Amino acid sequence: MSDSFARLGLAPELVRAVTGEGYTEPTPVQAQAIPFILAGRDVLAGAQTGTGKTAGFTLPLLQRLAVHGNASPSPAKHPIRALIITPTRELAAQVEESVRTYGKHMPLRSTLVYGGVGINPQIDALRRGVDILVATPGRLLDHMQQKTVDLRHVQILVLDEADRMLDMGFIRDIRRILAALPKQRQNLLFSATFSDEIRSLAESLLHDPAQVQVARRNADSELVAQRIHPVAQSHKRALLAHLVLSGDWHQVLVFTRTKHGANRLAEQLCKDGVEATAIHGNKSQGARTKALAGFKDGSVRVLVATDLASRGLDIEELPHVVNYELPHVPEDYVHRIGRTGRAGSTGEAISLVAPEESALLADIEKLLKRKLVREAVPGFAPGTASPPQTPPVRREQQGRRPHDGRERRNHAAADAQRSRSNAHAAPRQAPQMRPIGAAHAVAPAHTAAPARPAAPAHAAAPARPPASAHAAAPTRSATQARAEPHVPALLRGTPRRAG
Ligand code: AMP
C-alpha cells in the first residue's frame, strides 16, 4: 500500500484502489488538492489533462461521499450528491470510468449522461439512483427540462476543464445548471488556463477557494523535441506521408484546424497507403469511439484531430505529434505538444509550417519565449516545384501491419525508444535541434538518396517483416533496449468504455 496516498488523508479503500492502478506517488496536483478537498474547501485548480487532475478531485470526492454512503439498493438512498460537469463526451466517459475505478471498494454508484446517444437508458440509470453524476452541459439541461434528474441534493460540484467549456460556448448552460443546485455545497473548478471569463466564473462560484497551480505540462519541456519543417501548404500532405512512412512511425496524432480539413487529410493519407482516420465533433459518438479504439489497437496509424476533439481524449505519451496546421491560439500549440514526451519518456512534436503561417509561428514562439528550430526536409522546402512522390505502399505490406495490441505496443515503444535515443544524441542545450538524418536513421535509403527520400526505402524493402525496422533501428542496440527500465505506456490502459 502506498503510504504517500494515505498520508494525504485518503481512506484505505481509496489507497487500495490507486495502488491497484500502479500509482506509487501522488502527482503534484493530487498532493496539493486532495487535503483541501477532504477538508471541505472550495478549490480553484490550474491543471491540464495529463497531470492526474481527475484523481485529484475524484479521490477526495469519493471519500467525502462515502462517509454517508450506503449499500442499499433503494434509489431513494442514492440521491445525486456529486455532480461533475465536463466539456466533451469523451472526457465525461473517462472521468466516470475513473470514478468507478477509484471507487470500486466503496458502496457508491455513478452514471454518465452526454448527448449524441439515446436518452432513455440514461433516464433509467438516473431513476435507479446514483451518488455521482458525470455530465456534459447540454444533455444535463435536457434531463433538467424533462425533469428526469434531481439535483436538489448535490453537495459537491466539479467543473472540469472549465476553460474549454467556456471556449465551447457553454457559459449560459453552466449558469442555468448552477441556478438549479442547492446554495450550500462544495465547489471545485479545474481549468488549464485562466482568462478573465474564467476568473469571473470562479469569483461568482467559489467561496474562499484554496488555490492550486501545477506547472503547465510540457510548456517548455526538454522531453519534447520540437521541430519546424517549412513547407508549402500544397506539399504538406506529401511531406506528412513521407515522414510517417520513411520514419516508420506508428501512433501519430495529427492536428488540423478544421473538421473538413481533418476529414480530407485522413482520406488522402489512406490513399497514400497510411491508415488514417479523423476524429472531430461532427462525428457520431460511435464513430469517435471506434476511431479512438482503432488508434489504440494499432489498426489506425494516424489519427487526425481538431483541437476541440482532441481535448479530453485519453491518448497521451505519444511518440509523434504533428501540427499539420498551426493553431490560431498559441496556447493550443502547448496543449497539442503536451500529448507527447510525458512521464519521463521523450517524444517529438513536428510542425509543418507554410510561409503564410509565419505570424502564427511568431505568436507561438513568443508564448514559449524561444525560437523553434527550422529544418527543411530535402525535396520539400518551400519553393520546390513538386514534392517527391509518396511511396506506393503495396496492399500486402499494409496487411502485415500489426493489429495485435501487444505487437502494437512494441512498435509504439520502439518509436518512443527511437525518439528517446535521438533526444539523447541531441545536444542538451537544443533538444529540438535533432539533425534530420538522425530522425530518419531507420530508413537507410535516405542517406543513399536524400533528394527523393521516401520511394526507394519502401521499394527496397517490400518483404520486410513488420517488426524488423524496429529491431534494426541503428540508434539503439537490442541490449540497450532490454536494459531500458522504463518503457512508457503509450496509451494508458485499455480502450475506454464510451459509457
Ligand atoms: P488526468 O490528468 O486526470 O487525465 O490523468 C492522466 C493519467 O494519469 C490518467 O491516465 C491516470 O490514470 C494517470 N494517473 C493519475 N494519477 C496518477 C499517479 N499518482 N501516478 C501515476 N499515474 C497517475
Predicted confidence (pLDDT) per residue in 135-159, tens digit:
999 999 999 999 999 999 999 999 9
Ligand 1 in contact with 101 (CB < 6 A)?
Answer: no
Q: Whose CA is nearest to atom 16 of ligand 1?
A: 52
Q: Whose CA is nearest to atom 9 of ligand 1?
A: 52
How much is the pLDDT for 78? 87
How much is the pLDDT for 388? 67
Residue 181 has a CB neighbour count (10 Å cut-off) of 16
pLDDT tens per residue across all 499 residues of the chain: 458 999 999 999 999 999 999 998 999 999 999 999 999 999 999 988 778 999 999 999 999 999 876 677 777 778 999 999 999 998 999 999 999 999 999 999 999 999 999 999 999 999 999 999 999 999 999 999 999 999 999 999 999 999 989 988 899 999 999 999 999 999 999 998 888 889 899 999 999 999 998 865 444 455 678 899 999 999 999 999 999 999 889 889 999 998 899 999 999 999 998 999 998 767 777 787 788 888 888 889 999 998 776 665 666 567 889 999 999 888 888 878 877 755 455 678 999 999 999 999 999 998 888 889 899 999 998 887 776 665 544 433 443 343 333 333 444 444 444 443 433 333 322 222 222 222 222 222 233 333 333 333 333 333 333 333 233 233 333 333 322 222 222 222 223 332 2
Q: Whose CA is nearest to atom 14 of ligand 1?
A: 52
How much is the pLDDT for 418? 42
How much is the pLDDT for 280? 77
- Centre of ligand 1 to C-alpha 54, Å, is 7
- Centre of ligand 1 to C-alpha 479, Å, is 30
Q: Which CATH homologous superfamily contains domain 3-213?
A: P-loop containing nucleotide triphosphate hydrolases (3.40.50.300)
- Centre of ligand 1 to C-alpha 115, Å, is 26
- Centre of ligand 1 to C-alpha 15, Å, is 14
Ligand 1 in contact with 23 (CB < 6 A)?
Answer: yes
- Centre of ligand 1 to C-alpha 260, Å, is 32
- Centre of ligand 1 to C-alpha 265, Å, is 32
How much is the pLDDT for 176? 97
How much is the pLDDT for 2? 55
Ligand 1 in contact with 86 (CB < 6 A)?
Answer: no
Q: Whose CA is nearest to atom 6 of ligand 1?
A: 50
Per CATH, the number for 224-391 is: 3.40.50.300
Choice from 34, 49, 54 to test ligand 1 binding pocket (greatest atom count within 8 A of CB) = 54
Residue ranges, comma separated, of all CATH 3.40.50.300 domains in the chain are 3-213, 224-391
- Centre of ligand 1 to C-alpha 27, Å, is 8
Ligand 1 in contact with 26 (CB < 6 A)?
Answer: yes
Choice from 27, 49, 342, 490 to test ligand 1 binding pocket (greatest atom count within 8 A of CB) = 27
Ligand 1 in contact with 339 (CB < 6 A)?
Answer: no
Choice from 18, 23, 97 to test ligand 1 binding pocket (greatest atom count within 8 A of CB) = 23
Choice from 5, 21, 91, 101 to test ligand 1 binding pocket (greatest atom count within 8 A of CB) = 21
